[in-house]
């Protein structure tokens, strides 16, 4: 029967192999159906991949040319690498301390050499047969340093000779082989060539993939079809093909993300809610009449944007950004008063107890005694004594309190509002989208939402991360600020200046002021979490100098004569939050003169009397981080002084960076600079090496224009078709790709 081979499939030693499936694979086909069960399990374990899309989205991180070796010199210890190299020499030795053998293989990239070490319990004769000098192959494993030299221990390998043997068994192998070898991020269990083989199997069975980018947009940007891009990214004939594929996929990423954000924005707008407008002669008018200063132009503009949003029947979703002290709170308070005029309440959510308490105090002060008595701003946090908490809950549910200020405790089920009209969230970074959502549900109708952040956000980040929010920006500071003087203290040029730092600090304290000393590490052995640049030495030189750390510096300063009479305390991330709160409060109350701290000093903490900041090892902090830190001094009527102390050398990039921070107080300029500096690296770096994310080729730092174009096009599509009904491929891509973890990562950027 002629049909038998088709129904039974090929045979191997008389055993029928699984029948190849006829229908093409789709992106959502489970890997279990696309590959063998052991293969699917291996991919699930190694990379958490479930579907064909997961596997096909595992793009090569690089391509190697069979004919051209590339230098091995830049290997980082701990990295999983795959290299193409020639075997130079092979030796087997007995181990001296225990039974067994070591095979040492030296490979060459044409320039430098690199050692592979294989440990075996018995003789490794068989390995010597596989790895003979003169052969070329791929070698894959984790880089370790042994006696000062990088090497691979027990790497996986595949010589090109063994490929030729496969080819003898299956001539099709030759047809599939291309001059370029894709190099995949791999694990010990799944070396790059295994991935290549499985992807190859899947690619041969996919049909035409649906295209999330519409034809006209593809034509306009000169993009490949999605199917072509996926084929060429994994299996290019030449450099041109994978570059074209990357361009297409990069745009696709921007497009899918922007459509998702636009859609979220438009769906949120479609909900119906109550407009909140001030009443003539109401709270807002009374407040404005009593305000002891005039709003800056930026404050005015933001206030109008917010008032306009809140007068609509769709809920506001707005981000208000402006540096610490730029006057966001006043602007937000005016929105709260408009809501109060309409009979409603505002929930103000702060990231910590300390900040919630601070908001209560500043809002009460701004309102003045009469308005405060009528609007009854109330603190509602987890730490309140039971009786007080009960009272706060009662005021909230009865609507007596028009402004309720709290921490996460506001999210708890026991908190009910009489009429929640507005949610103000301070410091967006610490609240997820889900938490915003859960607060929203507390209103009978969806409340208006205003998110405030003191971290200046570059335009592209705003478009990418907060793309579902409208943005208002306060750039200028109110007039009459004393300002901050920033000075670079280069210890490598002037080691003796180290003493003068502390004398300077003592002078500030003698004026009755307070100060911070910031270190990148907690103890000699412990780096503070989130201290951006602290994990890696900036240069070779840095390795020799131990990092400034809170424990050591605290100890030293306490023993330093000019500071003897002052109260010096430590603050860092290893303390409990109660301890941190207590110290922070004592500092705010003036009971502590100097805080020796890591970056945990809170954003937004307002201690008007703090005038001096010393940042040690300033090169260990990013541009924006330094600027944020500096924002904690010079907040009251006293001028601030910030000493950026560094061991980095004149002319080095690190020194340049610190100099840039010292030279300007414009946070937006510094944020853009920060982004540009990170261009090669890490804005999305961590995320990109992670799993289950979709932004592989898009670089927020360099692709601003492309993101803006995608956003524009997304706006057109989504405003005409909010449900994206006309483009099911796009709808699926959004569902598949945009997950919350991605947003979280972006926020960290
Ligand atoms: P932010 O919340 O942005 O850190 P705040 O609203 O707390 O800033 O304002 C910081 C300080 O400046 C407050 O004491 C506030 O009363 C004051 N302030 C705000 N706006 C103005 C202004 N336009 N002119 C003068 N002072 C202002
Ligand atoms: Mg504030």
Ligand with an atom nearest the CA of residue 632: 1
pLDDT class of 448 with cuts at 50, 70, 90: very high
Nearest C-alpha neighbor of 192 from the set 58, 35, 25, 40: 58
Distance CA 398, CA 720 (A): 43
DSSP secondary structure code for residue 599 in this structure:
T
User: What local confidence, expressed as pLDDT, does residue 312 receive?
Assistant: 93
Q: Does 396 or 97 have the greater pLDDT score?
A: 396
Is the model's pLDDT at 689 over the cut of 50?
no
Nearest C-alpha neighbor of 79 from the set 145, 154, 149: 145
- For residues 308-323, average pLDDT: 92
- Closest C-alpha to ligand 1, atom 18: 327
User: What local confidence, expressed as pLDDT, does residue 694 receive?
Assistant: 57
The preferred substitution site among 328, 478, 483 for testing ligand 1, maximizing ligand atoms within 8 Å of CB, is 478
Cβ 325 under 6 angstroms from ligand 1: yes
Distance CA 317, CA 434 (A): 14
- For residues 216-238, average pLDDT: 95
Taking the centre of ligand 2 as the mean of its atom positions, its distance from the CA of residue 319, in whole angstroms, is 14
Is the model's pLDDT at 20 over the cut of 60?
no
Contact 603, 455 (CB under 8 A): yes
Taking the centre of ligand 2 as the mean of its atom positions, its distance from the CA of residue 706, in whole angstroms, is 34
Is the model's pLDDT at 9 over the cut of 60?
no
Q: What is the number of helices (H) and of strands (E) in the chain?
A: 28, 25
pLDDT class of 680 with cuts at 50, 70, 90: very low
Chain centre distance of CA 94? 49
Q: Which residues pair with 506 in a beta bridge?
A: none
Nearest 10 degrees: Cα torsion 115, 119, 124, 128: -10
User: What local confidence, expressed as pLDDT, does residue 427 receive?
Assistant: 73
Distance CA 719, CA 712 (A): 11
Is the model's pLDDT at 637 over the cut of 80?
no
- For residues 96-101, average pLDDT: 83
pLDDT class of 465 with cuts at 50, 70, 90: low
What's the pTM value of the predicted model, to 2 decimals?
0.70
Nearest C-alpha neighbor of 511 from the set 599, 611, 368: 611
Distance CA 679, CA 675 (A): 6
Largest CA distance in the chain: 102
- For residues 591-600, average pLDDT: 93
DSSP string covering 629-678, please?
HHTTSS-SSSPEEEEEEE-PPTTSHHHHHHHHHHH---HHHHHHHHHHHT
Is the model's pLDDT at 606 over the cut of 90?
no
Ligand with an atom nearest the CA of residue 327: 1
Q: Does 99 or 374 have the greater pLDDT score?
A: 374
Vertex 359, ends 358 and 364: CA angle to 5°?
A: 105
pLDDT class of 666 with cuts at 50, 70, 90: confident
Distance CA 475, CA 273 (A): 31
Q: Which two tokens stand for residue 680?
A: 């090669």
- Residue 403: φ, ψ to 5°: -135, 115
User: What local confidence, expressed as pLDDT, does residue 741 receive?
Assistant: 42
End-to-end CA distance of the chain: 64
Q: Does 411 or 309 have the greater pLDDT score?
A: 309
Q: Which two tokens stand for residue 79?
A: 């990295």
User: What local confidence, expressed as pLDDT, does residue 539 receive?
Assistant: 41
Q: Which two tokens stand for residue 425?
A: 């969230």
Cβ 327 under 6 angstroms from ligand 1: yes
Strand extents, DSSP E, 407-474: 420-426, 448-453, 470-474
Is the model's pLDDT at 747 over the cut of 80?
no
Q: Does 695 or 618 have the greater pLDDT score?
A: 618
Question: If DSSP codes are grouped into helix, strand and coil, which group holds residue 364?
Answer: helix
Contact 239, 255 (CB under 8 A): no
Is the model's pLDDT at 296 over the cut of 90?
yes
H helices within 16-65, ranges in order? 31-34, 37-47, 52-56
pLDDT class of 714 with cuts at 50, 70, 90: very high
Cβ 282 under 6 angstroms from ligand 1: no
Question: If DSSP codes are grouped into helix, strand and coil, which group holds residue 320?
Answer: strand
The preferred substitution site among 291, 300, 327, 360 for testing ligand 1, maximizing ligand atoms within 8 Å of CB, is 327
Taking the centre of ligand 2 as the mean of its atom positions, its distance from the CA of residue 604, in whole angstroms, is 6
Question: If DSSP codes are grouped into helix, strand and coil, which group holds residue 8?
Answer: helix
Nearest C-alpha neighbor of 607 from the set 621, 596, 593, 597: 593
- For residues 486-495, average pLDDT: 90
Question: If DSSP codes are grouped into helix, strand and coil, which group holds residue 288?
Answer: helix
Contact 524, 555 (CB under 8 A): no
Distance CA 507, CA 486 (A): 16
Q: Which two tokens stand for residue 639?
A: 């001028």
Is the model's pLDDT at 48 over the cut of 90?
no
Is the model's pLDDT at 17 over the cut of 70?
no
Q: Which residues pair with 318 in a beta bridge?
A: 450, 470
Neighbour tally for 450: CB within 10 Å:
28
Q: Which residues pair with 471 in a beta bridge?
A: 319
Cβ 355 under 6 angstroms from ligand 1: no
- Closest C-alpha to ligand 1, atom 20: 327
Neighbour-count burial of 649, counting CB atoms closer than 10 A to its CB (0-12 exposed, 13-18 middle, 19+ buried)? middle
Is the model's pLDDT at 459 over the cut of 80?
no
Q: Which two tokens stand for residue 247?
A: 């361009």
Cβ 293 under 6 angstroms from ligand 1: yes
Distance CA 369, CA 205 (A): 74
Cβ 295 under 6 angstroms from ligand 1: yes
Vertex 148, ends 491 and 104: CA angle to 5°?
A: 165
Is the model's pLDDT at 462 over the cut of 80?
no
Q: Which domains does the chain have, with CATH numbers?
A: 1-61+184-207 (no CATH), 64-172 (2.40.50.140), 229-271+708-746 (no CATH), 283-474 (3.40.50.300), 484-664 (3.40.50.300)
What pLDDT, in 10s, does the model give residues 139-153?
Answer: 888 888 887 777 888
Contact 734, 742 (CB under 8 A): no
- Closest C-alpha to ligand 1, atom 17: 327
Percentage, residues of the chain above pLDDT 70: 85
Is the model's pLDDT at 166 over the cut of 90?
no
Which residues, other chains included, contact 228 with Cβ-Cβ below 8 Å and sequence gap of 6+? 245, 248
Q: Which two tokens stand for residue 317?
A: 């979703």
- Closest C-alpha to ligand 1, atom 23: 295
Cβ 324 under 6 angstroms from ligand 1: yes
Distance CA 80, CA 46 (A): 13
- Residue 186: φ, ψ to 5°: -130, 170
Is the model's pLDDT at 712 over the cut of 60?
yes
User: What local confidence, expressed as pLDDT, does residue 21 receive?
Assistant: 53
Residue 437 parent element (H or E): helix 433-440
pLDDT class of 13 with cuts at 50, 70, 90: very low
What pLDDT, in 10s, does the model give residues 416-447?
Answer: 999 999 999 987 555 555 566 666 677 778 89
Vertex 215, ends 214 and 218: CA angle to 5°?
A: 90
- For residues 300-323, average pLDDT: 94
Taking the centre of ligand 2 as the mean of its atom positions, its distance from the CA of residue 329, in whole angstroms, is 5
pLDDT class of 287 with cuts at 50, 70, 90: very high
- For residues 393-397, average pLDDT: 95
Neighbour-count burial of 73, counting CB atoms closer than 10 A to its CB (0-12 exposed, 13-18 middle, 19+ buried)? exposed
Which residues, other chains included, contact 171 with Cβ-Cβ below 8 Å and sequence gap of 6+? none
Q: Does 265 or 249 have the greater pLDDT score?
A: 249
Q: Which two tokens stand for residue 173?
A: 């192998």
Strand extents, DSSP E, 154-288: 156-159, 180-183
Q: Which residues pair with 612 in a beta bridge?
A: 515, 641
Q: Which residues pair with 640 in a beta bridge?
A: 484
pLDDT class of 604 with cuts at 50, 70, 90: low
Q: Which two tokens stand for residue 198?
A: 């499985």
Nearest C-alpha neighbor of 520 from the set 536, 505, 504: 536
Taking the centre of ligand 1 as the mean of its atom positions, its distance from the CA of residue 360, in whole angstroms, is 15
Cβ 322 under 6 angstroms from ligand 1: yes
Is the model's pLDDT at 14 over the cut of 60?
no
Mean pLDDT of the chain: 83
């Amino acid at each position: 029967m002629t049909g038998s081979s088709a129904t039974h499939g090929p045979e191997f030693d008389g055993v029928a192999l699984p029948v190849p499936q006829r229908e093409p694979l789709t992106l959502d086909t489970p890997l279990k159906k696309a590959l063998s069960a052991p293969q699917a399990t291996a991919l699930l374990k190694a990379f958490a991949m479930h579907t064909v899309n997961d596997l096909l989205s595992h793009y090569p991180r690089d391509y190697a040319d069979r004919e051209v070796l590339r230098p091995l010199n830049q290997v980082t210890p701990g990295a999983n690498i795959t290299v193409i190299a020639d075997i130079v020499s092979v030796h087997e030795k007995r181990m001296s301390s225990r039974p067994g053998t070591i095979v040492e293989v030296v490979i060459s990239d044409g320039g430098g050499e690199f050692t592979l070490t294989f440990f075996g319990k018995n003789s490794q004769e068989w390995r010597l047969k596989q790895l003979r000098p003169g052969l070329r192959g791929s070698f894959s494993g984790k880089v370790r340093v042994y006696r000062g030299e990088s090497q691979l221990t027990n790497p996986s390998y595949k010589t090109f000779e063994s490929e030729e043997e496969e080819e003898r068994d299956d001539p099709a192998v030759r047809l599939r082989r291309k001059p370029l070898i894709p190099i995949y991020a791999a694990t010990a269990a799944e070396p790059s060539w295994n991935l290549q083989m499985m992807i190859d199997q899947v690619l041969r069975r996919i049909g035409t993939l649906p295209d999330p980018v519409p034809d006209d947009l593809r034509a306009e940007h000169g993009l490949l079809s999605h199917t072509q891009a996926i084929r060429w990214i994994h299996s290019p004939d030449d450099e041109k093909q994978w570059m074209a594929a990357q361009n297409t996929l990069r745009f696709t990423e921007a497009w899918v993300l922007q459509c998702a954000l636009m859609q979220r924005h438009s769906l949120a707008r479609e909900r119906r809610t109550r407009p909140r407008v001030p009443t003539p002669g109401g709270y807002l008018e009374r407040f404005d009449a009593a305000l002891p200063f005039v709003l800056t132009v930026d404050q005015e503009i933001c206030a109008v944007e917010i008032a306009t949003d809140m007068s609509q029947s769709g809920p506001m979703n707005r981000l208000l950004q402006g540096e610490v002290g730029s006057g966001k709170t006043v602007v937000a308070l005016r929105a709260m008063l408009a809501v109060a005029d309409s009979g409603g309440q505002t929930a103000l959510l702060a990231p910590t107890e300390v900040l919630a308490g601070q908001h209560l105090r500043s809002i009460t002060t701004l309102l003045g005694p009469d308005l405060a008595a009528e609007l009854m701003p109330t603190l509602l946090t987890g730490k309140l004594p039971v009786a007080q908490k009960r009272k706060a809950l009662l005021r909230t549910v009865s609507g007596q309190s028009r402004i309720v200020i709290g921490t996460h405790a506001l999210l708890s089920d026991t908190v009910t509002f009489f009429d929640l009209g507005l949610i103000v969230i301070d410091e967006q970074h610490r609240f997820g989208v889900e938490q915003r959502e859960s607060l929203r549900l507390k209103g009978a109708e969806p409340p208006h939402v205003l998110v405030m952040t003191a971290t200046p956000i570059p335009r592209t980040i705003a478009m990418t991360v907060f793309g579902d929010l409208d943005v208002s920006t306060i750039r200028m500071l109110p007039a009459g600020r004393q300002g901050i003087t920033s000075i670079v203290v280069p210890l490598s040029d002037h080691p003796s200046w180290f003493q003068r730092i502390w004398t300077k600090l003592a002078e500030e304290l003698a004026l009755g002021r307070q100060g911070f000393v910031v270190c990148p590490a907690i103890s000699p052995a412990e780096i503070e979490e989130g201290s951006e640049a602290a994990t890696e030495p900036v240069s070779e030189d840095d390795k020799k100098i131990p990092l400034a750390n809170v424990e050591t510096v605290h100890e030293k300063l306490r023993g330093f004569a000019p500071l003897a009479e002052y109260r010096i305390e430590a603050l860092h991330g290893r303390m409990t939050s109660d301890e941190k709160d207590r110290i922070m409060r004592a500092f705010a109350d003036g009971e502590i003169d100097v805080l020796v701290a890591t970056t945990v000093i809170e954003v937004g903490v307002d201690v008007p009397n703090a005038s001096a900041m010393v940042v040690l090892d300033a090169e260990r902090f990013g541009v924006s981080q330094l600027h944020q830190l500096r924002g904690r001094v010079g907040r009251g009527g006293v001028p601030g002084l910030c000493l950026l102390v560094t061991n980095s050398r004149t002319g080095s990039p690190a020194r340049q960076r610190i100099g840039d921070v010292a030279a300007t107080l414009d946070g937006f300029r510094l944020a853009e600079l920060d982004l540009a500096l990170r261009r090669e690296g890490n804005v999305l770096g961590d995320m990109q090496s992670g799993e289950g994310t979709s932004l592989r080729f898009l670089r927020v730092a360099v692709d601003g224009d492309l993101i803006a174009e995608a956003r524009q096009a997304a706006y057109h599509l989504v405003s005409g078709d909010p449900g994206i009904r006309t483009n099911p491929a796009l709808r699926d891509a959004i569902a598949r790709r945009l997950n919350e973890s991605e947003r979280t990562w972006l926020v960290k950027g």
